[in-house]
Structure 1
């Protein structure tokens, strides 16, 4: 059985998709871009601010699903510029203080929705 996840603490979908779906004890998030949930606008402040906003959005979606950032088992990071990879890595690591990281892929893409600099999707478990 599938359960669709929706929370107002993360940006509403900007297309025909769900913020996340739960199947069994897994949460599959849609890619989160750095939209402020209140304004619907991309946050200012470059890759640093955008990466932090993406994690805030992921956290909100995962918590609504009964999971958390710590329970992420796989992420895919989409970057508009691979030159931001080191900066993203520094910020990314701070969200896993125990050093237990999810599996991850990171790719540079030609363009992201709303010209975001980063998008991250995740798979997490519900414990």
Structure 2
């Protein structure tokens, strides 16, 4: 659990910094049109970077700091749902899907495992 959260922290901080410092690069790499309002994209990068700090701090005691993991997991669920809604309505091209693989999907199993462990350990503590 600790290693998972440290890896998630490093990934999020790097990805967030990349988006903030080089906001057009993702769009150039995917061939997508660069949005007019890059500040919104950079804001997303800032939020993801801040999640990274939360994951790093949570890694010291994942059971105690489970709410940080839970909030992260919610983002990893709602992000793809938001993409799907926007893709189906024609607001975002499919190429944007590639961000979901590393930002969301690969973390579903390890984050779910952490939250399951929290559930098991706190359930025993309450009995």
TM-score bucket of the superposed structures, by smaller chain:
under 0.3
TM-score (structure 1 length as normaliser): 0.26
TM-score (structure 2 length as normaliser): 0.26
Q: Highest CA radius of gyration, 1 or 2?
A: 2
Structure with the bigger RCO (C-alpha within 8 Å, sep 6+) is 1
